[in-house]
Structure 1
């Protein structure tokens, strides 16, 4: 028969968690033998209170960790929602600004179209307003003629087209629309990548003839 593990028995006895009967049954000895050894070696069941206190501390720490974790998750959720609302507000403002800018650009296109539709009337108006000075010059009318001239209209068309292209890009970005590959362009005979105003005017004449 194996000898009892008195060190383990003493530990269990002093812990005070298991009853004397449970300790005896677990180690295969009698309760009387345990009482006898405990009396001889002056064992005391003085650790039970400390063990219970430690257990209570562990429970409290677990509860604290759980509470802190919950508060952290709540704080993160609030932060995410607040940040998302700010970003959404900025995006909506950008979309509104882009929409207004595009409407204004389209209005300018309409005005340019109306100007190009009746250039003759504009030229007649310039003749009516002609008021040369004593040197035979009318600087105001000269400025007016430059404004309604073909190169000026072509330049306005080019500037408006560039503005519209920029606005379309901003609009697609604001609405998270994926980039679309541009179709391959066939260059016109003799056309440069960057036209001067005079070159654009000449090209415009050829297209309209």
Structure 2
């Protein structure tokens, strides 16, 4: 029985790109992370391209070009950077779409709340008419509570919190508040692993 040999070239590219954790690379290739660490040590691989990958992700998002002059082996490194950056850019674009959808939904809910508040008296009168024949006042009180000021205030607070979170996410996804800072490969790997879990 033949045992499938690991694709060490693909593993090297993923390892050096620094976009995925070593554990994730191992899982995708059906080997242990210890085996990858041993091979990397023996072959002298370094996770030295994570900063270039992050820059290329940003460049892809604004249609820029990678600076190959920072690479030790421009052709090989550029290929690794391109592959990892494409994956990162795809994740960010997907998150941008999701954030836009959630923002649109929150805006619709805010409009609905405004409409309810503006028509509260009319809605309360309709509830009184609808429940006039009820023997129990439970249905009436439940319906009135749903449009009452405390309920509306709670809904407004929840929507405001959601909007605040969505605005932070949107500004982050579009790089509006991003400050240039260096991060080591493990930080970048952890970030992209988290994004991959959410995607």
What is the TM-score when the length of structure 1 is the normalising length?
0.48
- Return 5+ residue gaps in structure 1 as ranges: 1-71, 180-209
Could you tell me how far apart the structure 2 residues matched to 1:164 and 1:132 are?
Answer: 41
Counterpart position of 1:81: 82
Counterpart position of 2:94: 93
Counterpart position of 1:151: 150
Could you tell me how far apart the structure 2 residues matched to 1:143 and 1:172 are?
Answer: 39
Report how far residue 74 of structure 1 moved: 2.8
- Return 5+ residue gaps in structure 2 as ranges: 1-72, 179-199
Report how far residue 102 of structure 1 moved: 0.2
Could you tell me how far apart the structure 2 residues matched to 1:166 and 1:82 are?
Answer: 31
Cα displacement string for residues 32-51 of structure 1 (whole angstroms, at most 9, x for unaligned residues): xxxxxxxxxxxxxxxxxxxx
* Pairing 1:1-209 to 2, within 5 Å after superposition: 73-131=74-132, 133=134, 136-178=135-177
Report how far residue 78 of structure 1 moved: 1.0
What is the TM-score when the length of structure 2 is the normalising length?
0.50
Cα displacement string for residues 63-122 of structure 1 (whole angstroms, at most 9, x for unaligned residues): xxxxxxxxx643322110011111111110000000000000000000000001111111
Cα displacement string for residues 134-192 of structure 1 (whole angstroms, at most 9, x for unaligned residues): xx42322221111011100011001000000000000011011127xxxxxxxxxxxxx
Counterpart position of 1:6: none
Number of equivalent positions: 106
Asked if 2 retains the 8 angstrom alpha-carbon contact of 1:91 and 1:174, the reply is yes
* Structure 1 vs Structure 2 CA RMSD: 1.6
Could you tell me how far apart the structure 2 residues matched to 1:142 and 1:79 are?
Answer: 64
Higher RCO (CA < 8 A, seq sep 6+):
2
